[in-house]
Amino acid sequence: MLKLLTSLKTTLYLIGISILVFLAGSLYIPKNLEIFSEINDFPLFQWLYNNRDYPAKTYWIYAEILLMAFLSVNMVVCTIEALLEKLSRRTLIQRLSPHILHAGVLLVLFGHLVSGTVGFKKDITMYMGETTEVDDLVVSLKQIELVYIKGENQQRWRASVSVDDKGELFHAVIEPAKPFFVSGLGLFAKSADENGRLVLGVVHDPGVKWEIAGALLFLVGAAGIFLSKYSKL
Amino acid sequence: MTPLFVILVFASLYAVSIMGDRKGTLCYLGALLLHLGYIIFRSVRLEQVPVTNTHDILIMMSFLAALSFLYLYFRKKVENLMNVLPFLPFTLSILAVFYERMDTISPNMNSIWFYLYMILFIAGFSLMGIGSVLGLMYLKKQHSEVEGLQYRFTLAGWLLFSCSLIAGSVWFYLAHGVYWLWTAKELWTTIVWFYYSFYLHARLLNSLKGQFAAEFGAAGFLVMLFSYLGVTPILGSPWTQF
């Protein structure tokens, strides 16, 4: 059993089957938009529960989750086995870097699991001067400014908001690709118009910090591989 | 001179340079200079790095591929390189002709993370593309040095491609509040990542190193090209300008 788990052939089979399953998914999604149109609006497991009556069209997601779980076990076992071997100082970076990179992939997969299990996403429409409660926060929309920036194909919106987090007051300006984060919640200005209307996206995704940790580990591993394999160009 | 004409001229020069002799090398260098001129023209016009739409991205990929070949030609002195080498910049430049030049971006794209994502993506794509061409060369000549170069280029390309996915996820999260979407396009991006992961792992096995790995790696360029250009029109994924 251990031999099977540490085998590189097992890795290849798992990656190969994963490719085929992703391929199936890429064909199912565009052809079944009546089911898949809301998949990005909910955490994955909640969406799967909501669509539990369509196993013939969603089976590939279950298969992919299983495959990723097997691949994770395969990565963990291979990494442990490799780390148990003697490491010399001379080849330390060369030997360790791929394992750091794999640890990064594992954390990214774990982040996906967390994102798919807990958290929420919702859109709230607000008007200038309005105050609304979002979870434990009180959000007030003070002002919306529409500006034109050269090179952009539409007006950019700047929404000035104040956020009361249990007595602590924050002021922020939210713009496209410039959200505001407070108490684990992300506030995104999704759209705004000249009538003072703002669509505020509210996101709570605890998987993101795992994703960031995984990405950082991956980058460290990648840098190590570059250093050890390409130092003599 | 219209931009289209300039592209056709340097693409033709890349094609002509396949003859491989001294004249071929001069044609190649001429193409490279004209290519650089076109990129500078686009940068001036956009007032930023031209990486925000498919046309400019293909032009940049093509240029990076052409530059990397120069490194292989002068530094590694790979035999018969000039007979195969211009194939990639030629193909990518011609493909660029079919895509509209766009001079504006949406406000969401105006982020350092987006530019980082695109630059890393272009670099990764180009290096993996060169890896594929080197794979084809190995299949023809069976020189183990070429197969080693294929592996090194593909590994470097895959690492940069992975870094681009990280930067892209950060950008998408800041822009839309999600770092991953279940769409055909994202699934194909994942397929490309797994495909090259398969190649890199397969090459570690002695039984698959050589012929199989070279074939598999060489075919990766088609998977990558389909993922980037084919998924939206053929499978019907949401359109993006990049």
| Residues facing A144 on adjacent strands | A159
Residue B102: C-alpha distances to residues B13, B42, B44, B108 (Å): 25, 10, 13, 16
The 10s digit of each residue's pLDDT in A76-99 is 999 888 888 777 767 788 888 999
Q: Is the pTM of this model over 0.90?
A: yes
Candidates B191, B232, B234: best to mutate against A (most CBs of A within 10 A) is B191
Asked if B233 is an interface residue toward chain A (Cβ–Cβ < 8 A), one would say no
Listed residue (A170, A192, A180) closest to A124, CA to CA: A192
Which burial class, exposed, middle or buried, applies to B128 when counting CB atoms under 10 A from its CB (0-12, 13-18, 19+)?
buried
Candidates B51, B180, B235: best to mutate against A (most CBs of A within 10 A) is B180
Cβ-defined contact of A152 to B111 (cutoff 8 Å): no
The 10s digit of each residue's pLDDT in B151-176 is 999 999 999 999 999 999 999 999 99
Asked if A26 is an interface residue toward chain B (Cβ–Cβ < 8 A), one would say yes
Place of tokens 């190193």: B209
Mean pLDDT of B208-216: 92
Predicted pLDDT at B1: 63
The 10s digit of each residue's pLDDT in A98-153 is 999 999 999 999 999 999 999 888 899 999 999 999 888 999 999 999 999 988 98
Q: What percent of the residues of chain B are helix, what percent strand, and what percent coil, each to the nearest 5?
A: 80, 0, 20
At B169, is the secondary structure helix, strand, or coil? helix
More confident residue, A82 or A217: A217
The 10s digit of each residue's pLDDT in A55-84 is 999 999 999 999 999 999 999 999 888 888
Asked if A115 is an interface residue toward chain B (Cβ–Cβ < 8 A), one would say yes
Predicted pLDDT at A233: 61
* Complex ipTM: 0.93
Residue A201: C-alpha distances to residues A129, B174, B175 (Å): 18, 11, 10
For B165, the closest chain A residue by CA position comes to A215
